[in-house]
Chains A and B, each alone.
Chain A
Amino acid sequence: MKTIDLYTPIIESSVHHLKAGDFVTISGTIYTARDKAHKKIADLVAQQKSLPIDFTNAVIYYAGPSPAQPGMPIGAIGPTTSYRMDAYTNIMLALGVRMFIGKGSRDDEVKKLLVMHKAVYCSSFGGAAAYLNQCVVDAQIVAFEEFGPEAMYKLTVEKFPVIVINDIYGGDLYADV
């Protein structure tokens, strides 16, 4: 399939040409965050405390990997279902996140916010966690180590494959099928 290759950080102009249904690969740095990390980040923002990373133009991957075997940077690492993070997406967008990667549909509020903030929502390949492991060249925990698999990881990825679900023009692949 025809693919569009993107490199992080992903600036606003890079998402202008992305359309729902596009096959995109990401190379560079992406950060994992799932349920607990989102709640924690929301708490830190509310308390005006310092945040573990700079979210400007960042890519957030909704994922909780399995533990790394010796000699591997990470274990299996597919996306988790995204709607559980809907309630926190407003906060993440205000912090500057440019792209979210997960799987499954988002609520109408998130879709509106993505258009407003010129950010995109992509799906990776749910249940292809061993395949996606092959795209990860390095992994470091950057925050919330105490959350175990729900810690926040900084991943260095090469050609990590995603499909654009919600683009900045209101396009929605899931609604189209």
Chain B
Amino acid sequence: MRTISHNQLYSAVVDLVFQANFSLPAHVYQALSTMQATEQKPLAKETLSILIQNADIAAQKHIPLCQDCGSVIVFLEIGTGVTIDGNPESIIQNAVADAYKNHYLRPSIVKDPLFDRTNTGSNTPAFIHTEIVDGSSVTITVYLKGGGSENMSSLKMFTPTTDIEEIIEYIVTTVKQAGPNPCPPLFLGIGIGGTADVAMLNAKKAVLHKEPHPQEQYRKLEGEILQRCNKTGVGPLGFGGKNTVAMVRIKEAPTHIATLPVALNLNCHSLRYRSIAI
């Protein structure tokens, strides 16, 4: 059995938090550049140009990409052939707290949602989703989600015989109504099927898929949703333009005979995450 030390896991998480906060993944940066080139309206073009400059300044000067350094969402996959020297969840919480403090990242988590909205000061707890997988490595993904775009999340429980057109309409309407609030152009994660909670979690996971869906019917649906959202005219930061959504990704799951949950994760233009296998 392979053993991963406390320090290996701790250092990996600190590094992921750092990378995610200060530099955009290459494909996200590329998407901004592509959209900037295709916009015609001067304000839309200028806005995307500012967002690209923002990414450059963040990386060069070590200023966070966004002042909202997010809720920290961690996807942890532990192989059956590996043991971790210590409780992985507490190691991750400590690493997140230290990384936020040492890199001057904004803590945004409050202790209790209703009765004690005092900032915990460490941006913890991180929200950790652990899965046991085959193999002898540990894969850690750190995903930062800002509050403004998280507030635009949506879940709808459709009836099983609903026409796909109705689902597309719901998605396009949600994006249009959110308008400027979630900081478009959006990276749109869609969870379909499972139970309500599974759909929502899959919407979070879907947005981290770099590649389109492997199945053709879902890939086509992603394309159709992208095209329809971009006809809304919301545009970069809601100032008007062609690019309201940069990317659409779907993650589906088997579901109950009576249900058809559809969950939407509207991620802002600053899709911040990093992943590593150790």
CB neighbours (8 Å) of A125 from chain B are 47, 50-51, 54, 237
CB neighbours (8 Å) of A75 from chain B are 63-64, 67, 104, 106
A78/B67 in contact, CB under 8 A: yes
A76/B237 in contact, CB under 8 A: no
CB neighbours (8 Å) of A171 from chain B are none
Q: Which of B57, B62, B66, B147 contacts A69 (CB 8 A)?
A: B62
1/0 per residue, CB under 8 A from B, across A113-151: the answer is 000000000010111111101100000000000011110
8 Å CB interface, A43-92 against B: 63-69, 72, 75-78, 80-81, 83
B43/A76 in contact, CB under 8 A: no
From A67, which residue of chain B is reached at the shortest CB distance? B104
Q: Is the interface of A mostly helix, strand, loop or mixed?
A: loop
Minimum distance in angstroms from A64 CB to a CB of chain B: 6
Chain B CB within 8 A of A96 CB: no
B66/A148 in contact, CB under 8 A: no
CB neighbours (8 Å) of A76 from chain B are 58, 63-67, 69, 106
A104/B148 in contact, CB under 8 A: yes
A23/B43 in contact, CB under 8 A: yes
From B184, which residue of chain A is reached at the shortest CB distance? A126
8 Å CB interface, B74-130 against A: 104-108, 117, 119, 121
CB neighbours (8 Å) of B50 from chain A are 125, 128, 131, 161
CB neighbours (8 Å) of A68 from chain B are 104
Minimum distance in angstroms from B238 CB to a CB of chain A: 6
Minimum distance in angstroms from B115 CB to a CB of chain A: 15
Chain A CB within 8 A of B180 CB: yes
State the CA gap A21–B117 with chains docked (Å): 37
State the CA gap A72–B235 with chains docked (Å): 33
> By the criterion of a CB under 8 Å from any partner CB, how many residues of chain A are at the interface?
42
8 Å CB interface, A147-177 against B: 147-150, 161, 163, 173-174, 176-177
Report how many A-B pairs have Cβ atoms within 8 Å.
Answer: 143
Chain A CB within 8 A of B252 CB: no
A177/B181 in contact, CB under 8 A: no
State the CA gap A67–B239 with chains docked (Å): 29
From B103, which residue of chain A is reached at the shortest CB distance? A69
* Residue of B63, B234, B237 with highest tally of chain A CB at under 10 A: B63
Chain B CB within 8 A of A105 CB: yes
1/0 per residue, CB under 8 A from A, across B34-57: the answer is 000000001100110011011101
Minimum distance in angstroms from A169 CB to a CB of chain B: 19
Chain A CB within 8 A of B179 CB: yes
CB neighbours (8 Å) of B256 from chain A are none
Chain B CB within 8 A of A38 CB: no
Minimum distance in angstroms from A144 CB to a CB of chain B: 12
CB neighbours (8 Å) of B241 from chain A are 177
Minimum distance in angstroms from A43 CB to a CB of chain B: 15
1/0 per residue, CB under 8 A from B, across A1-21: the answer is 100000000000000000001
Chain B CB within 8 A of A111 CB: no
Given A126-B148, A131-B54, A163-B239: A174 touches B105 (CB 8 Å cut-off):
no
Please name 7 further chain A to chain B contacts, defined as beta carbons within 8 Å, in addition to the given A23-B46, A129-B64, sorted by A numbering: A66-B67, A67-B104, A76-B63, A127-B54, A129-B68, A130-B55, A149-B106
- B-to-A contact residues, CB < 8 Å: 42-43, 46-47, 50-51, 53-55, 57-58, 61-69, 104-108, 117, 119, 121, 146-148, 151, 179-181, 183, 233-235, 237-241, 268-270
A-B residue pairs in contact (CB < 8 Å), sample of 19:
A36-B117, A66-B69, A66-B104, A66-B106, A80-B148, A103-B180, A123-B180, A123-B239, A126-B148, A126-B180, A126-B183, A127-B65, A128-B54, A129-B67, A130-B63, A131-B50, A133-B63, A173-B239, A177-B240
